[in-house]
A = this chain, B = another copy of it.
Amino acid sequence: MTIYDIAEKAGVSASTVSRVINGKPGIRDATRQKVLALLEEYHYSPNTAARGLATQSSHFIGILIEDIRVSHHTDAVWTIEQEMMRAGYTCITLSTGTTPEGKAQAIQILQQRAVDGVILIGSMFSLDCVRTSILKYLFNTPVVMINGQIDLLNVYSILIDEERGMEACTAAMLEKGCSHPVLLISTDTPSNRSKLEGFRSAIQKSGRTFDASCVFNTTADSMDPLAGMREADEMCGRILEEKPDTDCIICIDDILAVGVLHSLSRRGKSVPGDISVTGMDNTLYGRVSTPTLTSIDNKIEEAGITKTRRKSVPRCIQIPARTVLRVTG
């Protein structure tokens, strides 16, 4: 079913059909009704690729995440997708994997699909190779980075202030009476570095001296949540051994927190009676900080990816990380 088939059956020209489809004015009502009926009868729906070719707008939005299996960012994808759909856009959500090549390839695919905009979710996209690829393939396409930053004119950032989020979280625990907090952190990422900084800052602002031995690192690949949990579980044992007076374990993310909780429960420790535990990231595993997704969503619109971005828009937007603490038990 093409627009021409319908036109023929209706005894009008293709442009008339096109006008009806797009709700353009200046059509006699009788004609419109007739066409509308045919459209319905034949379940016609327009070929978006052809339309895109003609209008120079694919109505595609590309979303890049590292791994769809990791629930970390999947929440964001969901709301963005819903919102974009309401706006008439279709999302192409791609898992890039952790390698630079994977990311570069995904960016090229999006270019070939002529997406109208791109959303990069996660600090892991703040890479030089990503910058290069954008420059090569998407220099003309608005890009929004959630929790990442790249210095290019067409790249907008929405940053979640994780540093201050973690700082507030730690401060809250200290105020609550914890005197021997420990930070459980995973591999070195921009995001994790911010959180570490926030932790350190809170400690110092409270008048204590920051002791690096209070920071424990896990090494598991962030792509494998199960491994992360297990490692956190073991690490928790080490923490209790090396720092027996620990009364608060602050975890860089919720996966680690779950591992810690398992370990503590096995050891008969009560939470938060004996030890307080906090997580972060608001995934399925727990709900602690990060902004509400709707607020991210607003910001994306603000960044004008769907709009005809006429007015100048701030290149970078900070969202305060809400620190709705939850001492998981």
A contacts with B: majority SS: helix
Nearest to A49 among chain B residues (CB) is: B49
Contacts of A266 in B (CB 8 A): 265
In the complex, whether A307 has a CB less than 8 A from a CB of chain B is: no
Give Cα A35–Cα B78 distance, bound, in whole angstroms: 42
If A90-B113, A112-B46, A114-B48 touch, does A95 touch B68 (CB 8 Å cutoff)?
no
**Do A112 and B284 touch (CB < 8 A)?**
no
**What class of interface size applies to chain A in its complex with B?**
35 or more
Q: A113-125: contact bitstring with B at CB < 8 Å (1 yes, 0 no)?
A: 1100000000000
Q: How far is the CB of A227 from chain B (nearest CB, A)?
A: 11
Contact partner, A69, options B49, B50, B74, Cβ 8 Å:
B74
Q: How far is the CB of A298 from chain B (nearest CB, A)?
A: 20
Q: How far is the CB of A225 from chain B (nearest CB, A)?
A: 5
A residues 39-80 near B (Cβ < 8 Å) are 43, 45-50, 52-53, 58, 67-69, 71, 74-75, 77-78
Give Cα A262–Cα B95 distance, bound, in whole angstroms: 32
In the complex, whether A92 has a CB less than 8 A from a CB of chain B is: yes
**Do A58 and B49 touch (CB < 8 A)?**
yes
Contacts of A20 in B (CB 8 A): none
Which A residues form the contact surface with B (CB < 8 A)?
Answer: 43, 45-50, 52-53, 58, 67-69, 71, 74-75, 77-78, 81-82, 90-95, 108-109, 111-114, 136-137, 225-226, 262, 265-266, 284
